[in-house]
Chains A and B, each alone.
Chain A
């Protein structure tokens, strides 16, 4: 072997490197690709040499050796192990050993199998070289080699040889370049010309390879699928095994208990019968004995009478007569008494019918199931409850037979654990029940037992279900809106807290959007600011939600997104002012007001006789109008919520106002902020003042609505939300108009 490798090494150096040719794409493994060049070079050279040196001697041995090789290859092929190096190596290693015994020239034999493989491979190379053109022929040495190889190959062309070598060769020996479809065999291109493949259809090997690969991949995929299927099936079988085991156990137990019961019953019945029979026997025997005794007594009396008569016959006549008379009387008497010879007791026992009905019933019940196991009560399905009902569901074990269930419940009350709440129970055939007449937004504890002929199951776990809340109550008087949004507030309507609220909006009076309901969900508090489209009417509902489900809709509230809508905030109202029911008219009455000012307050005005409105906190445009009497002293404008309530409006940085005073038949108009006003004269006193609050442009404008006259514009930077404010310095009335669209002339400011 060392000798051989030395030889190889030496030969390696002279190998023309550019003459390698492999169908690389046949091999996926990278390391194998790296392996080939070296190996192939080595082997090819080896072959050439082997051929030269041993052509004559090797022919016979080679033939035999080939047969062996063929067998091995066939085996390898048979088991699909061409790629398996371990096995392949094993065969290869086994071969020489066999060779040794039969053919002493060991080294030769050892080399032979390799040679056989290399031969066809080399000829393939030669063909390739031809195909490639004549670049490869440049070297004379190479030419010589190739010609020899060519000759060699053709000289040895044989069917057997081709068949075993070409398709089944171990990977690295590939050299065919086309594929004969007819023979399903890769062949060398020139074989197409010379061989029996002449008439056959051939395709490029790569193509054949691709399709073969595809086919194999497809099959692999199928196999994979099948493996998965079978694995699943095996798992399933395993489960079935376990189930069979379990079911067997159950059934066994079931039978045991039933048969025991029957046996016990039978034993008991036997005892009872035997005892009864014994008593009967005793009775009979006693009666017979009694009869026997009385019979004996009778016999004795007869015997005595006989004896007495006999004695009498021996007596004197006189005595005889005397005694005979007495005797005759006695005898007559005796004979008159009937001797009972009827057997009072029958030896037969009455026929006892054995009653097996209960046993039969027991026997029959063996075929039915035992008492059911405890049902499993389901947790509450979200959104399944209403305010007054819940739908309770439970399930049974599949092998239980249940005739009916008993569902029990009681309200959960942590407040009074001592007091037992009333429990309610009902019988149900189904595995669900809608329990009605419950209290909204309340937790109930439910449990269920199953029942069949065999008896009652244990109770299920207790499950807590909760009824849906009561519908909230919209505070219609506190609804504020503007063109883009509405701020809606509501009362919970429930004593216990609920999880959240949902606001539902439907556009009213809009045919194209009729019926479309938008929802705002998950509102944690009792108010919500909802974005809307301008100039529309909406019907709004609110629902309260808990895990049980949503409440029914609240009473509807209607909102118009035309202009801004607000009401006066009575909390801010100076005590001298009266707010109308609709929250839009301010009245300061004529009657003499108390001279004393009310005590200072943070919420309501105390000095300035004013009130604020609740404007929606949305940055945008807000427009409202105030109807005034032209001789009235009033102030209108906006202020922050925390404007000092004991200061006049406009007397600080937190308010912007238009103030009108009428004195000595002169109208004075001031536009006050921080106690300062521009000098503005207005010739026509407005009767209706339009106020435009524009957050976007940081402006507050005042208009004479009737004249479309712009009066003044403040540039103000409200860092927070402001609210409308109104004050009456003299008795009179201000009427607010809001929820109206902005006049066109206002849009210029």
Chain B
């Protein structure tokens, strides 16, 4: 249990130290013995003189025990604090009143306080002050990820910075990490994870990857060469509203949370909302569908933010959009069976990337164009990227192939991230070596 002061963020001890200690011990008791303190109160009594003090001491001796002194009877000038179980309240208050002992109620219901404290503790435990204690092999909440981002940027400010590229429908920040060794408008690589909120393995992989980049920079020759010439941008939580919803209400939510007047169902599939073959096969005009494309291309703020950012930047050379599940690495088009002009190159690159991935843990991936490998899908990210001139546009579907699906056990996060990294690195290296 962390020794942080209840709910506080200041480093020093709080003025309510003793009470805090007692509260903590109650929490422990509650946790271990599953005790319930509902309705119990803490009374503060002021004894005027020694006579009143001894009356209080008498309470201590009662069997069965009726009070629990937090601050025992010592001297008349000092307040006496005692915890009174709910069942004894009537008796004790009558006792105090009949003997003229003045008292006030310090805590009206201990259980409520305990619950609040527990929540605050858990919260402060999650909002770690450094990334060294952040667990890369667990799934995290939005708050935890955003907190990690701030710590991460602080710790690696020499090559990492944070950019807000817009706001989600429910007004959450949309954040991008930029990895750069300097220069102005270096050719760039884009990676996004979490465009579909239920695909938790993707955010987890993105976070691990970000850390991998800063760890390996200066050590891995290939990565160092990439970063010397190019910038990498990673958007970890591409659909923050949807992601928050998977934690709070519906673990299997896919879309964003946009609402439109007169429309009964919520949300647009952000991977059908792009301006490339918008509204075609493999997307749905029914707002209640999981592949609802939205009213118009880029109608969703989460998509518009990326489009605006990439377009304004003007120098992206590769775009990789990460999903789960199915274990596939694919390139455009999704909207039709028509092959892209550099299909042969993309096929060979995908093949190399998948082989590099396989070498890590023996996991097999299918590869090919989206329409022939997975299904026809219109208005998707990588089709838009390709049509916008980004020649190296890839889409991943990470582990697994259906055994756990979206609910991939956290024990698979690091192995998945490790193998995916080798594929990403292959693609980035190729992009570096084939400038255009």
Is A bound to B? no
Give A residues with C-beta under 8 Å from B: none
Give B residues with C-beta under 8 Å from A: none
